[in-house]
Structure 1
Amino acid sequence: MTFQHTGAYATSTGIPAPRARARTRRRGSAVPVLRDLRERGGRGPRVLSFGGGDLVVVSGLPGSGKSTLMRRTAEGMAIDSQDARERWEARLPRFLPYAVYRPLARIAHYAGLRRALRSGRSVVVHDCGTQSWVRGWLAREARRRGRALHLVLLDVTPAAAREGQRDRGRGVSGYAFARHRRAVARLLTSVESGRLPRGCASATLLDRPAAGALMRIAFRDGS
């Protein structure tokens, strides 16, 4: 299935995505595309392909599998806040809690993202869901370079996300997780109703089986 007006398409087994919807925001604007690939038992697309120079933001609850998905599928430049955290963890004593050096890890993450965006290449970016200003930043950058911003949203239950945190041996506090739950729930509700975040040309909804079936997030110029 091909969406030429957004520069994004998915190659799959030939089964059309269920509940796919599109909505025009204003006359003369591009038509945002929503692809709902959930509830297909892993029979979803193997490749999500976007235009060269486009930006892709991967969002969802902590523990939903964003970092795993990016490391397994993202071609080109992938900017994951988890990488910045792990680099700082390797430098500091194990007994030091993450809360102490979290500001430094975040600064390093955003500095890396800024450098990646300045390169002009296609970029896949980790988004925790609570930082809507990051999506705004990416949307402005996409407009500046004349390209598109795309959202890939992982929809997993809070229980599954908590299990994912336990599996990786790293959790978030109850307060922080509640903030994430509210932010991701608002984002999911908005996307499901066809109201994509401002500046997004497309959104793709994935559950765990659909994310597991995905093999590549690719860009057509190979960047």
Structure 2
Amino acid sequence: MSEPTVIELGPRDLLVVAGLPGAGKTTMLRHAAVGLPVLDSDQVRERLGAVVPAVPYRWYRPVVHAWHRVRIVRHALGEDGPVVVHEPSTRASTRALLALVGALSGRSVRLLFLDVPAEVALAGQVSRGRVVRARSFARHVRRVGKWREELLADQVPVGWRSVQVVDRPRAGRTRLVAKLLVGC
């Protein structure tokens, strides 16, 4: 078995864990980010769903995504320590917003991209019991195409500090740790 990939997060790092819906981001973070704050839109979806259980998710999905982004901004600006954000980030506008949040909050924005083929991500959605609408998933796949090529060529997006690409097996061996500051 290969050695684990350990990613050290500095006290002002904002790590975005990105990839197609169903790629395995949530599963990876459940094991990799123990003890670190993780902001995930599913946390918002579950809270709102508990308040309005009879309302179909598709009706309040825009509120979930807006609230998730507000949580990211609020945490980045108002909290100490590293933060991990679960966000597909297939839209260029989302990546630009995250870079802006980093700049405004004085955080280094880093990317951990979970590189999984579309058919594997779709199977992941089916196994978790929540499948993204076909048109929406196709848009995610289309948008991630060129961006994926750039990431695999080690091109760091403007406003971001670093990019790391992992496949699903390596994601299972990834650990995120807060870097301890010595001599402060």
Normalising by the smaller structure, the TM-score range is 0.7 to 0.9
Percent identity, please: 37
**More helix by percentage:** 2
Asked if 1:125 is matched to 2:70, the reply is no
The answer for the alignment partner of 2:19 in structure 1 is 60
Question: What runs of 5+ residues in structure 1 fail to find an aligned partner?
Answer: 1-41
User: What do the CA deviations read for 1:165-223 (whole angstroms, capped 9, x no partner)?
Assistant: 11111001111011100122222111112322111221111111101112x2122148x
- Partner Cα separation in structure 1 for residue 89 and residue 99 of structure 2: 15
Higher relative contact order (CA 8 A, sep 6+): 2
Asked if 1:91 is matched to 2:51, the reply is yes
- Partner Cα separation in structure 1 for residue 104 and residue 44 of structure 2: 26
TM-score (norm: length of structure 1)? 0.73
AA at the equivalent of 1:124: V
Larger Rg: 1
Specify which of 169, 183, 193 is matched with residue 153 of structure 2. 193
The answer for the alignment partner of 1:111 in structure 2 is 70
- Residue range with higher mean Cα deviation, 105-114 or 167-176: 105-114
What number of residue pairs does the alignment pair up? 179
- Partner Cα separation in structure 2 for residue 135 and residue 128 of structure 1: 10
User: What do the CA deviations read for 1:39-87 (whole angstroms, capped 9, x no partner)?
Assistant: xxx6253421122111111110100011222232224221111211122
Asked if 1:205 is matched to 2:169, the reply is no
Asked if 1:102 is matched to 2:61, the reply is yes
Question: What is the SS of the residue equivalent to 1:196?
Answer: coil
Contact 1:77–1:116 (Cα < 8 Å) also in 2: no
Alignment RMSD? 2.0
Specify which of 123, 127, 149 is matched with residue 163 of structure 1. 123
Question: What runs of 5+ residues in structure 2 fail to find an aligned partner?
Answer: none
- Partner Cα separation in structure 2 for residue 93 and residue 54 of structure 1: 36
Q: Superposed, which structure 2 residues align to 1:14-93 within 5 Å?
A: 43-74=2-33, 75-93=35-53
C-alpha deviation, 1:145, in angstroms:
4.5
Question: What is the SS of the residue equivalent to 2:99?
Answer: helix
User: What do the CA deviations read for 1:142-170 (whole angstroms, capped 9, x no partner)?
Assistant: 33444421100001111111111111110
